[in-house]
Amino acid sequence: MLLFSVTFALFLLGAQICRRSFLEKRQNIIAIASVVWMSIGAGLLSFLQYRVWSSADVANYLLPPYTDISYFLYYVGTRFFLPFGASLVFAVLFVVAMRIMNKRMGEKFFDRGEITVAGIAIFLSGFPGVLIFVPTLILFYLLYHLVNVVRGKKGERIPLFFLWLPVSISVILINNFWLSRLDIWKLMKF
């Protein structure tokens, strides 16, 4: 799923940098496309998992007619679909909270289209990556402020619009190449 999530995040980052108006006009379609893209990725991995098991001598006994198909469905569901289902729930809750907060404060916290980009970025992080998304975002934001202070731009409001996707890509890579090797992180996976 690493390839699918990073590919979509990079595509979206490119659209954000080069064609911001495209992103703002089609934000709901892009959000749905991200869910469809990740579902296609999970479906493809499920298909490949079935092919590997059916061609292996011992693993063949994990598939019908030797066992019920429910074991295979449980396996691919928890390995490929559930992490992004859980991150989708987190993303939707986060987007709803951001919209309520932004509306109460007179639309001054988030730019147009930023909330949807944030939701997609959180979704693409997967589970348990969503658990480190906000702390990583805060760290990136503080580093960004520190760089601006060093450059002499004190007190300037820094929008998060261009930080959501780089943080998402960072979280995906940190999750896959470092945290996934930790025992505590393995306990949090489905």
pLDDT of residue 190: 63
Q: Which residues of the chain carry a pLDDT beneath 50?
A: none
What sign for the dihedral angle of Cα 115, 179, 142, 7? negative
Tell me the per-residue pLDDT of 50-84, one tens digit each, with 9 for 90 and over. Answer: 999 999 888 888 888 888 999 999 999 999 999 99
Question: Which residues, 6+ apart, have CB-to-CB distance to 103 below 8 Å?
Answer: none
Domain spans of the chain, in order of start: 2-188
Encoded tokens for 127: 């589970």
Supply the pTM of this predicted model: 0.88
Contact partners, residue 110, CB within 8 Å, separation at least 6: 98, 102, 118, 159, 160, 161
